[in-house]
Chains A and B, each alone.
Chain A
Amino acid sequence: MDRSSHPRSRRLVPVVAVAAAAALTLAGCSSSSGGKKSEEGGGNASAGKATTPRMTVALVTHQAPGDTFWDIVRKGAQAAADKDNIKLIYSADPNAGTQSNLVQNAIDQKVDGIAVTLAKPDALKGVIGKAKSANIPVVGLNSGLSDWKKLGLMEFFGQDETVAGEALGNKLNALGSKKALCVIQEQGNVGLTQRCDGVEKTFSGKLERAYVNGTDAPSVKSTITAKLKQDSAIDHVVALGAPIALIAVQSVGDAGSKAKVATFDLNKELTGAISKGTIEFAVDQQPYLQGYLAVDSLWLYKNNGNYSGGGEQPVLTGPAFVDKSNVDVVAKFAAKGTR
C-alpha cells in the first residue's frame, strides 16, 4: 500500500477522531426520562414445553425486510416452536419467485412441515405440489384465503381481508362518516387492495383512494396532507398499517383537517395513540396468533393427527377491533412487540 500518494486522506482522521471525542464527552448526559431504563420488563408467552421428539418446521413468508407486522408473526411462530420442541426455520422474500425457491429449499432440507403465505398463489402452486409429493404437510397463513384449498393446503390461519374491510366499513357507518380516504402504501399489493374493496362494499359514504410510498415517511406524510387539502370533505383516513396510521395523524394536523384516523393492524406506538385518542380504532388480525397457530397446527398434526377447520374451513384470526375501550389490555402485550 502506497500511502504517500494519498496524503490528504489523513486529514480526515482527526476530524473523525474529534467527532468521536465529542460523542464521548457528551456521554455524560443521560436522559432522565424515557429510554431503556424506564422500559418495563416482561417475558414472552410461555406454556411449558412439549416432550415430543424434536421436529423441524419451515415458515416461509412474503415479508419485506424490516416490517413490524411480520416481526410479530415470526414471534408467534417462534413461541409455538419453543413450546412444541420444534426447530423453526424462518425465511422470507417479497418476490414470489424467490419465495417459491425458499419453499423448495425447505423441501430439500426434508422438514417435517411447511407454513407458507400465499400472497401470490399462482407462483407457489408448483412448489407446493412438490412438497405434497414429498409427503410434507403444508399449511397456509395470513394471505391466500381464497386459494389455500385450491392449492391443496391442509389448513389456513388468517383474516379474510375483504371481511375485515367490510367490518371497518360498518364501523365507519356507525361513526357517521360521510367520506373516507383509504391509503395504500404498496401499489399492487392484493391484500391491501382487498381491504379497501371491503371497506367500499359496506361503507355507505364515499371512499377515495390514495397511493403513498411506504418506504419514505416524509413522502407518506406530504401525500396524505395533499389529499386532505385537495378534498376537505374527507372525515376519516383509513390506513392499512400501523406506521402509516401514525404518520397520517401528523398529516391531518398539517392539513388543518378535522379527519379522524382509523387503521388496520397494530404496534406498540399505535396502542399508545389509541389510548391518547389520536387514533380512533384499529382492526387487528392478530399476526402473533397466525404465526403461532400455523406452527402449532403442524405439531398437532404430526403428534395427534388433528387439523383445525377440518381441512374445510379456514381459521380466522381477525377482525378484532381495538379501540379506547379495550386498548389497555392489548397495550400490555403490544409493548413487548407481540400484539
Chain B
Amino acid sequence: MRMTQHAEPAVKTPPAPGPKGSDGRTAERPLMVRVLARPEVGVFLGAVAVYVFFLIAAPPVRDGSSMANILYQSSTLGIVTIPVALLMIGGEFDLSAGVGVITSALTASMISYQLTMNVWVGVIAALVVSLGIGFFNGWMVVRTGLPSFLVTLGTFLILQGVNLAVTKMVTGNVATDDISNMDGFDQARKVFASSFDIGGVQVKITVFWWLLFAAIASWVLLRTKYGNWTFAVGGNKESARAVGVPVAFTKISLFMLVGFGAWFVGMHQLFSFNTVQSGEGVGIELIYISGAVIGGCLLTGGYGSAIGPVFGAFMFGMVQQGIVYAGWNPDWFKAFLGVMLLGAVLINLWVQRAMTRR
C-alpha cells in the first residue's frame, strides 16, 4: 500500500550549487533587481496597468464606491485564492474549492433551519465539514500518491452531486430556506457580510478579511517554519522528507486551509443572500486557480507568494467589473475578460523573465 514510496535513495543529493561562490557574484544584486525578481511584482505591474487602463477608459471607476464594488468582487475570489495559492506553492491543486464554498453554505443553512438552531451552530458545523473535505482531499493525496488533480476532480464531482441530492432530500427543493429571521443571523451577518462606511463609501467587510488573511498568510509563508515546509514540499517532496519536513502534515493542512477559505466565502454568501441554490459554484474553482497563477504561483509548485494572489484576484475583479463600468458591448464580455487576463499574464511573465535573467 505504500504507493508514494519508490525505490529511490532516501537522501537525494540536491543539484550542485554551481560555481556561484567563486566568481565574484556573491555581491548582493542591486535592490531594484531583487525587488523585481519577487513573484508578486509582475502581477503587481499587471494590476496597475489594468487599473490605469480602466481609470482612463471607464469614468465611473474613478468614483470611490465603484472601487469598493471592485474590491468586493475581488475579495470574494481572493479569500479562497490565497489558500489555493499556498496549496499550489505546496505542489498541489484543488478543483473542489468552488463547489466547496456552496457545500459549506448549504450545510450551515440546512443545519440551522432544519434543526431550528441558532445559526452559529450551522456556521460551526459547516466549518467542520469544510475542514473535513480539505482533510479528505489531503489525506487521499498523501496516502495514495495520486495526483491532486484527480483526487480533487473526484471530490468536485462528489460535492456537486451531494450538494444537489442532499439539499433536495432535506428541503424538498433545490435551494435552501430563508434563514434571515433566525437567532444569531444578524450577528453572523456582521461578521461575514456587513459593510463599513469609510469617507462616505460603503466598503464590504470581506475586503478587510481578505487583506487580513493575505497579511497572515504572507507572514506565515515568509517568517515561519510552516512557510518553509510549504515551499519545501512543493519544491521536492522527497528531499523535503529527507530533511525532516512533515510532508503529510503540511500537505493535509494546506488542503484544510483551502477548506477554511471556502467556508469563509460560503458563510459570506449565506449571510449576504439568505438562501443558497445548490447548483452554484461550478466553474469558480478555475478562477481561484487562475488568480493564484496570475499572482505568480507556479503550477508545478515550490514558487509563489501570498501577496501575488491578492493582486491576481484584484485584477480579475477589476477586469470583470471594469468592462461593465466602461459600458462595452456585453456580447464580448467573456472575450474581453480573456484578452485582458492573457495580456496581464504576459506582462507578468515578461517582467519575471527580464528580471531573473542574468
Contact = CB atoms under 8 A, between A and B. Distances in A.
A254 interface: yes
Interface stretch (B45-53, B82-90, B267-275, B296-304): B267-275
Given A23-B124, A31-B182, A217 B321 contact: no
Nearest to A38: B116
Contacts of B69: 222, 225-226, 229, 254-255
B65 A36 contact: no
Given A9-B249, A216-B284, A225-B69, A32 B183 contact: yes
Interface in B110-153: 112-121, 124-125, 127-128, 131-132, 135, 139, 142-143
B175 A210 contact: no
A219 B273 CA distance: 12
Interface string A71-94: 100000000000000000000000
A306 B249 CA distance: 68
A218 B114 contact: no
Task: Name B's interface SS.
Answer: helix
Interface stretch (B13-21, B28-36, B159-167, B348-356): B159-167
A23 B125 contact: yes
A290 B183 CA distance: 38
A66 B279 contact: yes
Interface in B279-302: 279-284
Contact of A6 (B178, B179, B248): B248
A19 B273 contact: no
B324 A243 contact: no
Given A31-B118, A68-B174, A217-B280, A222 B70 contact: yes
Contacts of B248: 5-6, 8-9
B183 A31 contact: yes
A319 B249 CA distance: 58
B174 A30 contact: no
B24 interface: no
A225 B112 CA distance: 30
The bracket for how many chain B residues form the interface is 35 or more
Most buried by B among A11, A22, A217, A255: A217
Interface string B313-340: 0000100110011110011011000000
A37 B181 CA distance: 13
A227 to B, nearest CB: 5
Task: Name A's interface SS.
Answer: helix
A34 B281 contact: no
Contacts of A34: 113, 116, 178-183, 185
A296 B244 CA distance: 69
Interface string A192-218: 000000000000000001110111111
Contacts of B235: none
A267 interface: yes
B118 A30 contact: yes
Nearest to A182: B330
A67 B252 contact: no
Contact of B1 (A2, A6, A23, A223): A2
A48 to B, nearest CB: 22
A223 B321 contact: yes
B113 A211 contact: no
Contacts of A5: 2, 248
A275 to B, nearest CB: 13
A154 to B, nearest CB: 29
Interface in B233-291: 246, 248-249, 252-253, 256, 265, 268-269, 272-275, 277-284
B184 interface: yes
B227 interface: no
B135 A66 contact: no
Interface string A107-143: 0000000000000000000000000000000000000
B63 interface: yes
Contacts of A31: 112, 116-119, 182-184
A11 B127 CA distance: 18
A213 to B, nearest CB: 8
Interface in A1-39: 1-2, 5-9, 11-12, 15-16, 19-20, 22-23, 26-27, 29-39
A88 to B, nearest CB: 15
A269 interface: yes
B202 interface: yes
A318 to B, nearest CB: 21
A16 B273 contact: no
Interface in B165-208: 167-168, 172-175, 177-185, 202
B76 A215 contact: no
B316 to A, nearest CB: 10
A312 interface: no
B128 A229 contact: no
A64 interface: yes
Given A23-B124, A66-B164, A36 B175 contact: no
A91 to B, nearest CB: 14
B19 to A, nearest CB: 38
A65 interface: yes
Given A30-B116, A210-B330, A67 B277 contact: yes
B202 A254 contact: yes
A260 B200 CA distance: 23
A176 B341 CA distance: 41
Contacts of B44: none
Given A2-B1, A215-B279, A226-B321, 17 more contacts: A6-B142, A8-B249, A9-B252, A12-B253, A16-B135, A29-B117, A30-B117, A31-B183, A65-B160, A66-B174, A211-B330, A219-B76, A221-B272, A223-B320, A226-B60, A246-B275, A269-B178
Interface of A: 1-2, 5-9, 11-12, 15-16, 19-20, 22-23, 26-27, 29-39, 64-68, 70-71, 184, 187, 209-211, 213-219, 221-223, 225-227, 229-231, 243, 246-247, 250, 254-256, 267-269, 272, 337
21 contacts: A9-B252, A12-B252, A12-B256, A15-B131, A16-B132, A19-B124, A23-B121, A29-B184, A30-B117, A34-B179, A34-B181, A35-B113, A36-B113, A66-B277, A68-B174, A70-B174, A229-B60, A229-B66, A243-B277, A246-B275, A268-B178
